[in-house]
């Protein structure tokens, strides 16, 4: 939990990180949010700008996450997995 000066309540870090690998490259997917603020999937790929997709519900974010995994595997990425 962390506090910010402009808020009177704590911000809970509710993020999950997943990694995919293709050759020597890694792709990072972060899923974050809550029912109050909404949800986001943040995709960080090698040599590309960060992409963000926003969702109003956890179900919408989950459905997109499943489709995103399928697309990544179809494109030759291996994962999701943890990384040291």
Structure tokens of 44? 């960080």
What is the arithmetic mean of pLDDT over 61-74? 96
Q: Is residue 8 part of a domain?
A: no
List, as one string, the DSSP characters of 57-81: SHHHHHHHHHHHHHHHHHTT-EEEE
pLDDT over 70 for what percent of the chain?
Answer: 82
Q: What is the structure's pLDDT at 34?
A: 86
Q: Is residue 1 part of a domain?
A: no
Peptide bond into 9 cis (omega under 30): no
Label residue 62 left, alpha or beta by phi (over 0 means left) and psi (-120 to 50 means alpha). Answer: alpha
Q: What is d(CA 11, CA 25) in angstroms, rounded to the nearest whole number? A: 32
This prediction's pTM: 0.75
Q: Is residue 66 part of a domain?
A: yes
- How many domains are contained in the chain? 1
Q: What is the structure's pLDDT at 44?
A: 96
Q: What is the structure's pLDDT at 61?
A: 94
Phi, psi at residue 40, to the nearest 5°? -140, 145
Q: List, for residues 18-52, the tens digit of each pLDDT value.
A: 999 999 999 999 999 988 889 999 999 989 999 99
Domain that holds residue 70: 15-77
């Amino acid at each position: 939990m962390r506090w910010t000066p402009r808020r009177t309540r704590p911000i809970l870090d509710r993020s999950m990180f997943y990694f995919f690998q293709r050759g020597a490259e890694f792709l990072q997917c972060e899923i974050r949010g809550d029912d109050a603020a909404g949800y986001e999937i943040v995709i960080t790929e090698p040599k590309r700008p960060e992409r963000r997709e926003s969702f109003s519900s956890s179900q919408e974010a989950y459905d997109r996450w499943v489709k995103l995994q399928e697309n990544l595997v179809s494109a030759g990425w291996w994962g999701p997995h943890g990384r040291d």
